[in-house]
Structure 1
């Protein structure tokens, strides 16, 4: 099976280890205010640099493993291990914005520089020039806005990758897509109960 055809073949790991957050001006704000994109990016960077946290995640040679983390300001956060050749498939995060950082190994992200309609479609033909590609090695990170469509892959043939992800608001759903050339097709809508 190719990395691009892999979907959620992972299993949940029953390890829970919140990241300790130093008190800063940003973390001292009221609990009622949501986190900003900059705060999510700071959180995933600090978490990815926490060697004890990264070492606590069991690595499975066959499927992705993950642990839910305590994100800032009520955000949803995950520590994820990616065996060689695994990936997410094309998906979005609905109305959530977020950030992710690579803690170990290297991840490749393919994304679309186009905002998709929130609903009412099953198939879209993409315009030329909307494809983006980036490598995120250990210590590299990125943030993204609402309706960000991407797929993330560990293309290594031999090395696990580990990353930290945070989203706000907590993911209401994930839409999964298939892609053939310029045609993007909505295949499935997952709700939180499908992955928690």
Structure 2
């Protein structure tokens, strides 16, 4: 992404403001169908050409480790709670399949209703609903619209690139 493209789109703070305002829309959140076993979602119109989603998370579901490539993003919890595991290190964008991670870079956040966060490019994380009983609903926004998602497996300190998904894989 060029500097001009980055300057023309919404900032991470603007995305965070959007997801917070959207999460406060009780009628929209209530309109999301919830499935007892799999995540559900509605695509939303994000600000400034961004991609946005309202996502329902049944108990025990999660994303697995992934990043959003060159996109910045934000998400907030509309109801329930989600846990985010992330890495406090900038990983190389390309050119690797396996990395051994240093000690001390793991971060965990418990995000409850009304709480959210923004993140930069190449942010590697996993998000999950650790509840055994309660659905969670969250709002997410990304800019530029997701060019790809890289999925990883993790065993101990070893992070391995497993798959690269493009928009046609999930739409």
Q: TM-score scaled to structure 2, two decimals? A: 0.95
Structure 2 alignment gaps of length 5 or more? 1-6
> For each residue in 1:8-30, what CA deviation from the matched residue of structure 2 results, as whole angstroms up to 9, or x when unmatched?
xxxxxxxxxxxxxxxxxxxxxxx
Q: Which residue of the partner structure matches residue 50 of structure 2?
A: 75
Within 2, Cα distance between the matches of 1:118 and 1:140? Answer: 28
Q: Secondary structure at the match of 1:152?
A: strand
Within 1, Cα distance between the matches of 2:9 and 2:108? Answer: 30
Within 2, Cα distance between the matches of 1:59 and 1:43? Answer: 22
Does the alignment pair 1:121 with 2:96? Answer: yes
Does the alignment pair 1:185 with 2:164? Answer: no
Does the alignment pair 1:146 with 2:121? Answer: yes
Q: Secondary structure at the match of 1:189?
A: strand
Q: Which residue of the partner structure matches residue 39 of structure 1?
A: 14
Q: Which residue of the partner structure matches residue 24 of structure 1?
A: none
Does the alignment pair 1:160 with 2:135? Answer: yes
User: Which residue of 12, 15, 29 corresponds with 1:54?
Assistant: 29
> For each residue in 1:84-138, what CA deviation from the matched residue of structure 2 results, as whole angstroms up to 9, or x when unmatched?
0000000000000010000000000000011111111110000011000000000
> For each residue in 1:124-165, what CA deviation from the matched residue of structure 2 results, as whole angstroms up to 9, or x when unmatched?
000011000000000001000000000000000000000000
Within 2, Cα distance between the matches of 1:149 and 1:109? Answer: 10
Q: Which residue of the partner structure matches residue 85 of structure 1?
A: 60
Moved over 2 A (4+): none
Within 2, Cα distance between the matches of 1:38 and 1:124? Answer: 30
Structure 1 alignment gaps of length 5 or more? 1-31
Q: Which residue of the partner structure matches residue 4 of structure 2?
A: none
Does the alignment pair 1:98 with 2:73? Answer: yes
Q: Secondary structure at the match of 1:73?
A: helix
User: How far apart are residue 66 of structure 1 and its match?
Assistant: 0.5
